Chain A
Amino acid sequence: DIVMTQSPDSLAVSLGERATINCKSSQSVLYSSNNKNYLTWYQQKPGQPPKLLIYWASTRESGVPDRFSGSGSGTDFTLTISSLQAEDVAVYYCQQYYTTPYSFGQGTKLEIK
């Protein structure tokens, strides 16, 4: 099974500042035949289901603000929020969909400093 590990577990950032969350997979999630990384990022607010932010590691889902961006390849990935807004307070999860089980990272709780 692929193990996903996020860092840090929690993060406090000032409004308007950059937030960076890292995700590492125990094996590569890059599929060589199409050169795509099978990695998504979700945002989850209290009492709500996860919301898809990023797929293919760097493709923003329709309607997601452009302050959210994803990067990385192979085993190391990053979610960046370029200018933190109050509504971005949430828990963020990475997930690999390269193979079953579709494993998630443990989550990173993002708060306002």
Chain B
Amino acid sequence: EVQLVESGGGLVQPGGSLRLSCAASGFTFSSHWMHWVRQAPGKGLVWVSRINTDGSITNYADSVKGRFTISRDNAKNTLYLQMNSLRAEDTAVYYCARRDSSGYLDIWGQGTMVTVSS
């Protein structure tokens, strides 16, 4: 079964850091670009970041550029999102998603909740 499972969310103080993980299974992880998308409570979906198959190309939303770092370990079939200098407005469910070879996001994880609050 094709599956993505996020972990690493939790409660963190403003200015703190957190690293999210996304474990992939059931498909050839190293062949797919991967994305992070977030959703604040009661709000819509917002694209956060993407990474290419070997990790050499990364892109970020302006709102997280310079604070978040996307990376991957193809040997471990795992995607990461290192989040630094966290702000209250980063509070959201964070989803990892697989990019199909045609470009659209076809498989999504269940999400992990990040709460930034003092």
> Which of B9-17, B72-80, B82-90, B107-115 is near enough to bind chain A?
B107-115
Report whether over half of chain A's contact residues are helix, strand or loop; otherwise say mixed: loop
Q: A50-B45, A107-B44 are in contact. Are A100 and B105 (CB under 8 A)?
A: no
Selected from B46, B59, B62, the residue in CB contact (under 8 A) with A104 is: B46
Give Cα distance in the complex from A38 to B108, angstroms.
18
CB atoms of B108 and A50 under 8 A apart: yes
Give Cα distance in the complex from A49 to B102, angstroms.
21
Selected from B102, B105, B111, the residue in CB contact (under 8 A) with A102 is: B105
Q: A49-B110, A106-B44 are in contact. Are A97 and B105 (CB under 8 A)?
A: yes
Q: Which of B6-60 contact A (CB under 8 A)?
A: 35, 37, 44-47, 50, 59
CB atoms of B44 and A93 under 8 A apart: yes
Question: How distant is B35 from chain A, measured CB to nearest CB, in Å?
Answer: 7
Give Cα distance in the complex from A15 to B106, angstroms.
28
CB atoms of B111 and A101 under 8 A apart: no
Sorting the interface of chain A by its residue count into under 10, 10 to 19, 20 to 34 or 35 or more gives: 20 to 34
Selected from A40, A51, A103, A107, the residue in CB contact (under 8 A) with B104 is: A40
CB atoms of B111 and A38 under 8 A apart: no
Chain B residues near A11 (CB-CB < 8 A): none
CB atoms of B105 and A49 under 8 A apart: no
Q: Which of A68-113 contact B (CB under 8 A)?
A: 93, 95, 97, 100-107
The answer to whether the Cβ of A61 comes within 8 Å of any Cβ in the partner chain is yes
Give Cα distance in the complex from A48 to B109, angstroms.
9
CB atoms of A61 and B106 under 8 A apart: yes
Selected from A61, A95, A100, the residue in CB contact (under 8 A) with B59 is: A100
Q: Which B residue's beta carbon lies closest to that of A34?
A: B102
CB atoms of A93 and B59 under 8 A apart: no
CB atoms of A102 and B109 under 8 A apart: no
Chain B residues near A3 (CB-CB < 8 A): none
What are 12 contact pairs spanning A and B, CB under 8 A? A38-B104, A42-B45, A44-B45, A50-B45, A52-B105, A55-B100, A55-B102, A95-B105, A97-B103, A100-B59, A105-B44, A107-B45
Knowing that A50-B45, A104-B45 touch, tell me 8 more A-B residue pairs with CB under 8 angstroms. A38-B103, A49-B110, A55-B104, A93-B45, A97-B103, A101-B61, A102-B105, A106-B44
